Amino acid sequence: MEAVVSFALAVLTLFGFYALLALGMGLIFGQLGVVNVAFGDFVMAGAFVMYGLEAVPFVPRVLIALVLGGALAWAIEKLLLRPLYVQGFLATLLAMWGVGIVLRQTADAVFGSTPASVASPVTGSISVLGVQYPTYRLVATTVSLVVVVAILFVVYRTDFGMRLRATIDNREMASLLGIPPRPMIMATFVFGTVLAVLAGALQAPMLGLTPHLGVAFLAPAFFAVLVGRPGSLAGPLFGAFVVALLSNSLRGLFSETTATLLFYAALIVLIAIRPQGLDWKRPQWTTALLARRPA
Amino acid sequence: MTRGTRGRRAGLAAGATLALTLTACGGSVGGDTGGGNGGGAADPLSIGLMAPITGPVASEGEAMKMGFDLALKEINADGGVLGQDIEVDFLDDKADPAIAAQSANRLITENQVDYLFGTITGDTSLAVGKVATEAEVPFSTAEMGTAGICTPYVWAFGETDPMILTELVPHMLETKGTRVALVGSDYSFPRGFNGLARELIEGAGGEVVAEEYAPLGTADWQPVIGKLSSAAPDWTLSAVVGGDAVSFVRQADEFGLLATSDITGISLIQDYYPAMGGVTDGRELVTRYSDALPGEANEKFVAAFREAYDWDAPIPGVAANAYEGLKFIAAAVEAAGTTETAAVMDALSTTTTDGIFGETSFTENHRFQTDMQLVRVEAGGKYVPVENLGVVEDPTECR
């Protein structure tokens, strides 16, 4: 029984973290068609803001991290990505790759490469069905899941969410119906990035922080988006759950290195036998933008 | 499916591939070989320094470079070697064996250096060691462990696994208990380190109750800690390194492992202390260096290091090894009276210095030998020497 509870808690905490990542990355990919390879580095940036502003109490510090992350995302979308959309995914992928390098080098220049850490605002552990579990992990997971539920509520139950879904589904039609595409693109990129920053800020007290921290989170987030059920914004969440479950199962059964190998192999197979896995968003906006250019 | 969708699928797949590439810890390509360089009697001593100041072990690379630079400044301010300033060409090896081998080649063929120094990870040391040996240029490392290659041209200043473990294991078995868990980052150094520890533990009547490794870059240690906890060890020997060491030790504390099991090993070294949040206070480890070592040479080094780098944290051992290493090389070249390779190598094997660790010299096996210390970590990052273990010999044959 204890083993089952421990396993469930481990899956849940990892899912809380990956859900934020997958949702953020999925939103950005769905709306912008941008393969955001700097996503893990935004996680790192969130964690380092928590380290850099240690004098500020924890909750306001998280909020500051989100605001800074949002401002950075705004600048990146406006100055870097906007001119590149018409050039296709490769241009934006490379641009984001560059952003990732800049973020890592900046963290290195400002904080150095010696591992850093952030004090946990909540210490100790509590008993969950007979299993002692670190309190902060449960708090971070709860916050992550509440945020995820709030996002789903906004996306499926509000006017803004309807507009968001409309632009993702068919930007041209949405635009003809009076939903301006630019603000929606900007809002999605900022929001998606802020989710990565939030994930990093919440995880910070559990990690040894180095400028390369984010790289490890990129692949699971990608796979969560790839695995996700097509046709809905909840797809990446399903993907995140699969990734968390698979990762914990394999790591329970095998050594870490073997588990990592099998994890990626299993996901590649999963994606290969589910080629429709990515069809959850059709990229009309690219063709729409191209169509507007003079022939 | 439209063509556009397929294109984007390819895009995301390409992104995923890139992510995997980034996640992997650097490919390993064998080192090229390069031409030789004799060096001349009237030349200034010219050293090629390689340190990974970017990449996953950048903190160790930077610490090594700091120690090296400080020694360089002091030696040159003191008149240099053979009456001339030491010249140094620096390249970032990025902890990548292919880049390290290329850098070594470039330093030898283009910069015509007399001596190669540096690298942190074992695979880069091996790559450079091959190039240096082929080109007949002496090469020294400063990170703990051997250079992974044993040739007449390789002179490693780091403390080796037997120097760290030979006294540590019996001490821990006696004071903490006989059930031991081994954990490490998954690459050659931690596996070799823990492999020797297993031999020593089992040879002394202890029992290894768990042994786990995780790839570099592992952020979530929950499954590993679960396995270790269920084995109920009396103490854990950790060879988890870098930012992972901090993640592992802090999470082990978070999950209560450190309340029931003591911990020692590489994860406790000075480099990681500031990020540990005090959870390693009161633990013991065996190291060569502590900034609290007695002696004038160390006091001078500590003061100079703290001032030069505005450094409050415990001074990393690799910085001390690099500092002492360069001073040793300078003494050897001075004794040789030339930068010519054969004479320098002869001098390296006979030189002794009395530096920050005490008396130092190379053994026939090219092991850099000096006193080892049993050290206790105390609040605020004081690495207090509890017992001078004297010279701990490394009997391993050159392999």
In a domain, A250, yes or no: no
Cβ under 8 Å to A: B residues 207-246:
212-215, 217-220, 222-224, 226, 242-246
Between the CA of residue B11 and those of A32, A86, B22, B195, B216, what are the distances in Å? Answer: 13, 15, 16, 43, 27
Q: Residue B87: pLDDT band by 50, 70, 90 thresholds?
A: very high
Q: Is residue A129 part of a domain?
A: yes
Q: Is the pLDDT of residue A276 over 80?
A: no
Sign of CA dihedral B117, B123, B124, B127: positive
CB contact under 8 A, B58 and A137: no
User: Could you check whether B46-159+293-362 and B161-287 share the same CATH topology?
Assistant: yes
* Average of per-residue pLDDT across A155-167: 86
Residue A261 belongs to some domain of the structure: no
* Pairing label, strands B371-378, B382-391: antiparallel
Return residues 270-329 of B near A (CB < 8 Å): 271-272, 274-277, 313
CB B55 within 8 A of CB B126: no
pLDDT tens track for A53-95: 999 999 999 999 999 999 999 999 999 998 888 888 889 999 9
> What DSSP character marks residue B374?
E
Q: Is residue A227 part of a domain?
A: no
Instruction: Evaluate if residue B123 carries a pLDDT over 90.
Output: no
The DSSP call for residue A195 is H
pLDDT at A264: 87
The Cβ of residue B60 has, within 10 Å, a number of other Cβ atoms equal to 28
Return the residue of A nearest to B215 by Cα: A257
Task: Please state, in angstroms and rounded to a whole number, the distance separating the CA atoms of residues B163 and B291.
Answer: 19
Q: According to the model, what pLDDT value does residue B193 have?
A: 93
Average pLDDT over residues B2-15: 43
A40 → chain B, closest CA residue:
B19
CA atoms of A279 and B272, how far apart (whole Å): 45
Residues of chain A with C-beta less than 8 angstroms from the C-beta of B2: 282-283
Nearest beta carbon to residue A113 from set B7, B62, B277:
B62
Residues of A within 8 A of B218 (CB-CB) are: 216, 256
Q: Give CA–CA dist A1/A259, Å, rounded.
A: 23
> Is residue A22 in a domain?
yes
Nearest residue, CB atoms, B217 vs list A33, A134, A215:
A215
Reply yes or no on whether the pLDDT at B247 is more than 90: yes
Residue ranges of E strands in chain A: 125-128, 131-134
Choose the weakest-confidence range: B30-44, B147-161, B256-270. B30-44
Task: Give B278-317 pLDDT, tens digit per residue.
Answer: 999 999 999 999 999 999 999 999 999 999 999 988 999 9
Strand B368-369 with B358-362, pairing: antiparallel
**What is the distance in angstroms between the Cα of B37 and the nearest Cα belonging to chain A?**
35
Sheet holding B358-362, edge to edge: B352-355, B358-362, B368-369
Q: What is the pLDDT of residue B147?
A: 64
Which residues of chain B form beta strands (DSSP E)? 46-51, 87-92, 115-118, 139-140, 179-185, 207-214, 235-239, 262-265, 284-287, 352-355, 358-362, 368-369, 371-378, 382-391
Q: Is the ipTM of this complex over 0.85?
A: no
Do the Cβ atoms of A137 and B277 come within 8 Å?
Answer: no
Contacts of B180 (CB under 8 A, 6+ apart): B172, B173, B197, B201, B206, B207, B208, B209, B233, B234, B235, B236, B237
Q: Is a pLDDT exceeding 80 seen at residue A283?
A: no
pLDDT per residue over A125-152, tens digit each? 899 888 889 999 999 999 999 999 999 8
Distances (CA, A) of B30 to A5, A36, B26, B34, B126: 47, 33, 13, 13, 9
Helices then strands, counting H and E runs in chain B, come out as 12, 14
Give which of B129, B135, B134, B100 is closest to B114, Cα–Cα. B135
- Interface subset of B 150-189, CB within 8 angstroms of A: 186
B46-159+293-362 belongs to which CATH class?
alpha beta
User: No. of H helices and E strands in chain A?
Assistant: 12, 2
> How close A97 comes to chain B (CA, Å)?
10
Which of A204-208, B176-180, B313-317 is most confident? Answer: B176-180
Residue range(s) defining the domain that contains residue A206: 2-211+282-290
Give the three-state DSSP class for A256.
helix
CATH of domain B161-287: 3.40.50.2300
Distance CA A31, CA B5 (A): 13
pLDDT at A164: 83
Cβ A206–B251 below 8 Å, yes or no?
A: yes
Position A231 scores a pLDDT of 53
CB contact under 8 A, B256 and A125: yes
As a whole number of Å, the end-to-end CA separation of chain A is 67
Give residue-wise pLDDT tens across range B327-344: 999 999 999 999 999 999
CA distance A223 to A203: 20
Is B18's CB within 8 Å of A97's CB? yes
- The domain ranges of chain B are 46-159+293-362, 161-287
Domain count for chain A? 1
Residue A229: inside a domain, yes or no? no
Does residue B48 have a pLDDT over 70? yes
Phi, psi of B377 (to 5 degrees): -80, 125
